[in-house]
Amino acid sequence: MSEGQNGSIVQVRGLRTYFPIKSRSLIPRVVGQVMAVDGIDFDIGAGETLGLVGESGSGKTTAARSVLMLVKPTSGSVKIDGTEITGLNARQLRPIRRKTSMIFQDPYNALNPRHTVGAIISAPFEIQNVKPEGGVKRAVQDLMQRVGLNPEHYNRYPNEFSGGQRQRIGIARAVALHPELIVCDEPVSALDVSIQAQILNLLHDLQNEFNIAYLFVAHDLAVVRQVSHRIAVMYLGHIVESAPRKTIYSMPLHPYTRSLLSAVPVPDPVRQRQRTRIVLQGDVPSPIDPPPGCVFHTRCWLYERLGKPERCRTEEPLLRPFTTDQTVACHFAEELVGQGVGESAAEAAAAAAALSATPDDDEPEAGADAGATIQESPVQQA
């Protein structure tokens, strides 16, 4: 995985996060493990956005929370600004937390209803014992104005604000200490479509102003395409493909990535009816007992078309470099490109591009309409 232009703020290697399953006996004992995240690697550079996409249950949110040590990883390495944090206790993590922050998915449950907006946004200053020039109240009101809130509403409570305004409160709290990394856990999925673009514009402006790195977790392919510099696709706790934004949408290499792109609707009824859909059969396997070999082989359309090769059932594919900036975990990625199996990459890219106002260049920009969520379990069209 390539580093960001200004060096890596986050370095994750071999990250595994398992949750024990205990028996209901008189003396509980561990009888299994939920392998939510099962060995992933990625880097995030300064001022860079890494989009993390996949179906529900793929481990995206657990991976994001593990990076911030909100969930204790089972094994692996997480470095923030060069400092290994997986072995640190709460006291040792405090200075690291000043460099990181998180924007939560639900703006209604992420804010304490008994605290005023001023108290919510000023919490990072109090916890980290930071005394901004001009006082905490002035700093908070400046932040409120920066994120599009009325500074005069300093003493109001969260229930007096709309969903979009509450998310702006959460963003103001997240950027209060000018962190180097912000984890965005589906920050616009609970908002109206008309509000989503405003929040994305705000995140884009803040990134440019403070050179913040984002780990952006989302289901929405149009949103991910718009905000991300690079994209990593997760399935059942594994990263199966990673590449720059433009490459993922123009030349997807993994069968799962192609199936996700084929589920994106085109805003043209005639073209939509003519498109070739890649239909995934069955449900996502349980992370308690994942399939041997390639975890995707039980639903893989390429596996079926190639005659169910034994290698897919017995040998786990490693995330390997395919080009200088694209990695893929598939034994037969070359076969896929060579044969052009399934929906063409150009058609998939056109479908995704139709949902975004972002020009097809190297830099993500704000202002695209949000919509078209990844379908959790694509089904055959009638």
Residue 3 has pLDDT above 70, yes or no: no
| CB atoms near residue 89 (< 10 Å) | 7
The full DSSP string for 81-126 is TTEE-TT--HHHHHHHHTTEEEE-S-TTTSS-TTS-HHHHHHHHHH
* Residues forming beta bridges with residue 232, ordered by sequence position: 52, 242
Residue 192 has pLDDT above 90, yes or no: no
| Average pLDDT of every residue of the chain | 86
| Distance between CA atoms of residues 6 and 221, nearest Å | 27
Return the pLDDT at 353.
Answer: 53
What residues have CB less than 8 Å from 65, skipping those under 6 apart? 71, 183, 185
pTM of the full predicted structure?
A: 0.86
The answer to whether residues 233 and 53 touch, using CB atoms and an 8 Å cutoff, is yes
More confident of the two residues 13 and 261: 13
Mean pLDDT on 32-43: 95
The residue among 231, 230, 375, 241 whose CA lies nearest residue 296 is 241
Q: What is the pLDDT of residues 95-138, one digit of tens each?
A: 999 999 999 989 889 999 999 999 999 999 999 999 999 999 99
Mean pLDDT on 334-362: 53
| Distance between CA atoms of residues 206 and 229, nearest Å | 15
The answer to whether residues 250 and 215 touch, using CB atoms and an 8 Å cutoff, is no
Return the pLDDT at 266.
Answer: 73
Q: How buried is residue 201: exposed, middle or buried, by Cβ count under 10 Å (0-12/13-18/19+)?
A: middle
For the CA atoms of the chain, what is the radius of gyration?
A: 21
Mean pLDDT on 88-92: 93
Confidence of residue 365 (pLDDT cuts 50, 70, 90): low
| Distance between CA atoms of residues 1 and 252, nearest Å | 17
Residue 267 has pLDDT above 80, yes or no: no
The answer to whether residues 186 and 58 touch, using CB atoms and an 8 Å cutoff, is no
Q: How far is CA 374 from the centre of its chain?
A: 13
| Distance between CA atoms of residues 279 and 260, nearest Å | 10
Q: What is the pLDDT of residues 64-81, one digit of tens each?
A: 999 999 999 999 999 999
Comparing 137-151, 166-180, 336-350, 364-378, the range with the smallest average pLDDT is 364-378
Specify the 3-state DSSP secondary structure of 20.
Answer: strand
Residue 50 has pLDDT above 50, yes or no: yes
The full DSSP string for 320-345 is EEEETTEEE--TTHHHHHHHT-SS-H
Return the pLDDT at 270.
Answer: 81
Per-residue b or e along 147-158, where b marks 16 or more CB atoms closer than 10 Å to that residue's CB: bebebebbebbb
The answer to whether residues 336 and 329 touch, using CB atoms and an 8 Å cutoff, is no
